[in-house]
């Protein structure tokens, strides 16, 4: 074994054992040209200078090398072993090559083994599936995530927390596309190495049925959307209470849909974006209205001086009629005149005089005018105009009522000029029962003396208002679904038919009427009317006529226990004739059997069609002015057989 040599401290002195061999021409240049290859054998170093040069080249290649290579140690003697310094240099290279080879082999094996698998480190909705086959990854996702999909999705939107049903929203997952998001196996070795220590969330791919999702988000708005609470001042009795303003919120529907689709399957609460709805009135404005207006307003009563009597507006009554509305960021006080009048008006009612219209009464068979009376009433809008200023005062809280003369709607002069001088239409019906007679008498008294000015339309329901027990009406006979029955106000249709015919023969313009569904024999066929109201008095079927003449019309009613007569007075224009056509298109009745305890048997009647023609002739010339045909179809009235009558 050759001995190892120590490096000299200086190149000026050589201690090599081997003898120096003269260099062959060109050798130095060649060696210099390849001195960067530390692993190449070099022989026949000739001089110390060349050894020094060689050492310098090795220093550049080996970076921190600090030893000096003897000129004769650059290569082994022929047939001998390499010197020790070369063996020491070769070992790290071999180790590096071996490590590289092992890594390359491991990389290849890893790439081969993981081919087709989900890349390492991948998580889906928090579930680790990296390194698994796609089939196993999908199984795990279904196992871990599918239970979430049937559970309500929790959400928060502004200050609202709630949940919704994902199925109702049309939400589902696409497993294959979810895994496709993870991508293929990375070829970059550094990426593969880092995947052992990192995770990558790829999320889920959601499928959403558009209409269902739209409907679900629209439904969420019912819960999420909140109108702003405007600052205000309310009253609890006579105590003013501030209402602090609160901003509202409105769901951003498009962004909310995106957030739901992106995060609904995570199992976490989904945050939905909302837009704030600002308020118009600030908290400072509320306090200003409270201190400057509301509290002084109810600090004491307000005295209203009437003609000969005073009324007192108490703090509670002031509070009932005082409110605030937002205007330009502040609260503006507002007076509800009706509520203020409700509070103090009754105390001053005796100081007012209601007007009275002129009336036409019938004495000795002739119309007589009862003079009208002028009214003297408080003009409340003018009286209460300074109220807001008065309410801010601690003292001198007084108002003076201002009155105005109110003429009657129909003055005495108006009534005398209406031309009500003769009967222009009249009709009588009879044969009513005693209970129906009570109702007919009641409605006749209400209508008697009514005046219809030129161009006005008379409405029976409008003139009487509700016809209930409070107004003096009682239950009486009616026809309901083709069978006899009873109801409060029964029998009024007979009065309506009588009034209709009186207006018919007076030449009034029909403004709306409806015949009975079934023909009633005591009325002229095709020339009769019925009326009906809801229990609250609202009109359902009405009788109306218009006074299209240039003079007024007065209605006179004459009731007896056996009949009712209606006369219309005015200035006669027409002679009226009624031409009744033949009955046609008969429809036989059906038989119905009833087991009701209050069953009323009926023989029934056939249905038919008939046409009535009104002919109007000028009263002076006798010439026909116009013809007005009207066709009416009556339903058959069923024959009713009661239990035990068979």
Q: What string of DSSP letters covers 498-529?
A: HHHHHHHHTTPEEEE----SB--TTS-TT---
Burial (CB count within 10 angstroms: exposed 0-12, middle 13-18, buried 19+), residue 524: middle
Looking at the structure, tell me whether residues 398 and 440 fall in a common domain: no
Does any domain span residue 363? yes
Looking at the structure, tell me whether residues 391 and 496 fall in a common domain: no
Residue 92, domain extent? 27-109
- CATH code at 262? 3.10.20
Looking at the structure, tell me whether residues 184 and 333 fall in a common domain: no
pTM for the complete prediction? Answer: 0.50
Q: What is the dihedral of CA 96, 98, 101, 105, to 10 degrees?
A: -130
- The pLDDT of residue 46: 38
Looking at the structure, tell me whether residues 459 and 476 fall in a common domain: yes
Does any domain span residue 600? yes
| CA–CA separation, 381 and 336 (whole Å) | 10
The DSSP bridge partners found for residue 1 are: none
| CA–CA separation, 508 and 548 (whole Å) | 7
Of 410, 442, 460, the one marking the end of a domain is 410
Which 3 state secondary structure label does DSSP give 317?
helix
- The pLDDT of residue 543: 97
Looking at the structure, tell me whether residues 357 and 462 fall in a common domain: no
Looking at the structure, tell me whether residues 490 and 602 fall in a common domain: yes
Q: What is the pLDDT of residues 564-608, one digit of tens each?
A: 999 999 999 999 999 999 999 999 999 988 887 778 788 889 999
| Helix ranges (DSSP H) in 225-355 | 253-263, 283-289, 295-297, 315-321, 337-348
| CA–CA separation, 458 and 425 (whole Å) | 15
Does any domain span residue 217? yes
Contact 242, 286 (CB under 8 A): yes
Query: Within the chain, which residues score under 70 in pLDDT?
Result: 1-89, 93, 96, 99-116, 121, 125, 181-198, 203, 479-485, 644-646
Does any domain span residue 22? no
- The pLDDT of residue 400: 96
- The pLDDT of residue 182: 61
- The pLDDT of residue 56: 38
| Number of domain units in the chain | 4
Question: DSSP string spanning 70-136?
Answer: -GGGSSPPTTSPPPHHHHHHHHHHHHHHHHHHHHHHHHHHHHHHTTTBPPTTEEETTEE-TTSBHHH
Does any domain span residue 39? yes
Looking at the structure, tell me whether residues 70 and 173 fall in a common domain: no
| CA–CA separation, 227 and 324 (whole Å) | 18
Of residues 133, 252, 106, the one with CA closest to residue 192: 106
CA 276 to chain CA centroid, Å, is 17
Does any domain span residue 503? yes
| CA–CA separation, 528 and 508 (whole Å) | 15
Does any domain span residue 622? yes
Of 410, 431, 453, the one marking the end of a domain is 410
Looking at the structure, tell me whether residues 454 and 502 fall in a common domain: yes
Of 56, 75, 109, the one marking the end of a domain is 109
Q: What is the pLDDT of residues 106-165, one digit of tens each?
A: 556 655 545 547 777 677 767 877 778 777 877 887 777 777 777 899 999 999 999 999
Does any domain span residue 115? no
Looking at the structure, tell me whether residues 525 and 563 fall in a common domain: yes
- The pLDDT of residue 104: 65
| CA–CA separation, 32 and 569 (whole Å) | 145
Looking at the structure, tell me whether residues 589 and 490 fall in a common domain: yes
Looking at the structure, tell me whether residues 362 and 430 fall in a common domain: no
- The pLDDT of residue 415: 87
Angle formed by the axes of helices 210-224 and 253-263, to 10°?
110
- The pLDDT of residue 75: 47
| CA–CA separation, 413 and 32 (whole Å) | 143
Looking at the structure, tell me whether residues 228 and 90 fall in a common domain: no
Return the number of other C-beta atoms located less than 10 Å from residue 462's C-beta: 11
């Amino acid at each position: 074994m050759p001995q190892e040599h120590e490096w000299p401290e200086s190149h000026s002195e050589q201690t090599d054992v081997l003898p120096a061999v003269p260099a062959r021409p060109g050798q130095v240049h060649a060696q210099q040209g390849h001195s960067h290859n530390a692993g190449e054998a070099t022989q026949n170093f000739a001089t110390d200078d060349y050894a020094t040069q060689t050492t310098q080249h090795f220093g550049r290649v080996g970076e921190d090398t600090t030893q000096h290579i003897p000129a004769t140690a650059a290569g082994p003697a022929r047939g001998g072993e390499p010197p020790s310094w070369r063996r020491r240099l070769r070992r790290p290279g071999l180790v590096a090559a071996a490590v590289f080879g092992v890594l390359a082999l491991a990389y290849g094996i890893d790439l081969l083994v993981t081919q087709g698998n989900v890349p390492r480190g991948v998580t889906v909705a928090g579930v680790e599936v990296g390194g698994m086959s796609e089939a196993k990854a999908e199984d795990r996702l279904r196992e871990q995530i599918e239970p979430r999909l049937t559970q309500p999705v929790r959400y928060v939107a502004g200050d609202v927390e709630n949940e919704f049903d994902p199925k109702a929203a049309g939400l589902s997952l696409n497993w294959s596309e979810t895994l496709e998001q993870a991508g293929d196996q990375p070829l970059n070795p550094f990426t593969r190495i880092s995947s052992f220590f990192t995770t990558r969330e790829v999320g889920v791919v959601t499928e959403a049925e558009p209409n269902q999702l739209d409907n679900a988000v629209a439904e969420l708005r019912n819960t999420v959307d909140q109108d702003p609470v405007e600052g205000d001042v309310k009253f609890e009795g006579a105590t003013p209470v501030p209402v602090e303003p609160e901003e509202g919120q409105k769901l951003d529907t498009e962004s909310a849909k995106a957030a739901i689709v992106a995060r609904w399957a995570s199992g976490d609460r989904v945050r939905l974006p909302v837009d704030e709805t600002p308020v118009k009135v600030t908290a400072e404005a509320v306090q200003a209205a409270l201190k400057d207006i509301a509290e002084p307003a109810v600090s004491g009563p307000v005295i209203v001086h009437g003609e000969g009597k005073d009324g007192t507006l108490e703090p509670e009554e002031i509070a009932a009629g005082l409110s605030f509305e937002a205007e330009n960021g502040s609260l503006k006080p507002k007076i509800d005149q009706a509520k203020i009048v409700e509070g103090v008006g009754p105390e001053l009612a005796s100081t007012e005089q209601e007007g009275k219209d002129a009336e036409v009464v019938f004495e000795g068979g002739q119309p007589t005018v009862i003079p009208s009376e002028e009214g003297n009433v408080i003009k409340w809008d003018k009286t209460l105009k300074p109220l807001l200023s008065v309410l801010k005062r601690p003292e001198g809280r007084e108002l003076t009522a201002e009155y105005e003369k109110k003429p009657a709607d129909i003055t005495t002069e108006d009534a005398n000029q209406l031309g009500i001088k003769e009967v222009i239409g009249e009709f009588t019906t009879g044969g009513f029962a005693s209970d129906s007679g009570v109702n007919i008498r009641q409605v006749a008294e209400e209508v008697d003396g009514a005046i219809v000015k030129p161009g006005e339309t008379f409405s029976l329901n409008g003139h009487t208002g509700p016809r209930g027990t409070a107004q003096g009406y009682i239950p009486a006979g009616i026809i309901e679904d083709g069978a006899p029955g009873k109801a409060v106000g029964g029998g009024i249709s007979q009065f309506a038919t009588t009034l209709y015919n009186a207006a018919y023969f007076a030449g009034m313009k029909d403004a709306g009427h409806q015949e009975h569904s079934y023909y009633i024999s005591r009325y002229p066929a095709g020339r009769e009317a019925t009326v009906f109201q809801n229990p609250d008095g609202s009109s359902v079927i009405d009788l109306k006529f218009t006074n299209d003449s240039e003079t007024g019309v007065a209605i006179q009613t004459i009731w007896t226990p056996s009949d009712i007569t209606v006369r219309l007075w005015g200035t006669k224009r027409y002679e009226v004739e009624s031409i009744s056509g033949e009955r046609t298109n008969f429809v036989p009745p059906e038989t119905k059997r009833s087991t009701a305890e209050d069953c009323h048997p009926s023989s029934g009647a056939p249905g038919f069609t008939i046409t009535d023609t009104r002919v109007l002739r000028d009263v002076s010339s006798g010439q026909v002015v116009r013809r007005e045909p009207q066709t009416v179809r009556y339903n058959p009235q069923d024959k009713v057989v009661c239990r035990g009558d068979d």
